[in-house]
Amino acid sequence: MTRVLIVDDQPTFRRQLRALLSHVGFAVVAEARDIPEAEEQVRLHDPDLAVVDLMLPGVNGLEGIPRLKTIAPNLRVILVSAYRDRAGIFRSGAQEAGAEAFVAKDDLDLKLVQAWNVVSKEREGEA
């Protein structure tokens, strides 16, 4: 079962995402409001996947991804944002920061699961 960390400063979004991920069989092992809290949760729970919001207080998601991957090099990250109109820019920035995918929050239901399935298959190919 895929173990997930949700990193978002909006409690309502975290709650909705937790419900979605649980519904499709993921285990949400932790939540964080910002990158420093996410770093702590990565150390404590060793998740397989982190779903990280772009716009976070303090350190944003793009800056935070390398910090999380320093702690857990095998951690897979999907960056999310409400800024759908800038998806192309964020997608390339997410890849440069070390994320496996970028998904607009509007598309999280199906596309998040699809993104994880692609990442999981790529990872199996590396093994």
What letters, b where the CB count within 10 A reaches 16 and e where it falls short, cover 17-50?
beebbeeeebebbbbbbbbebbbebbeebebbbb
Question: Residue 3 in contact with residue 45, Cβ under 8 Å?
Answer: yes
Of 54-58, 64-68, 82-86, give the lowest mean pLDDT range. Answer: 82-86
Domain ranges of the chain: 3-121
Q: Which CATH class is domain 3-121?
A: alpha beta
pTM for the model stands at 0.85
Q: Phi and psi of 78, rounded to 5°?
A: -115, 120
pLDDT value at 116 more than 70: no
pLDDT, one tens digit per residue, over 6-45 is: 999 999 999 999 998 888 889 999 999 999 999 999 999 9
Identify the sign of the CA torsion 112, 115, 119, 121: positive
The two three-digit tokens of residue 100, written as one number: 């496996």
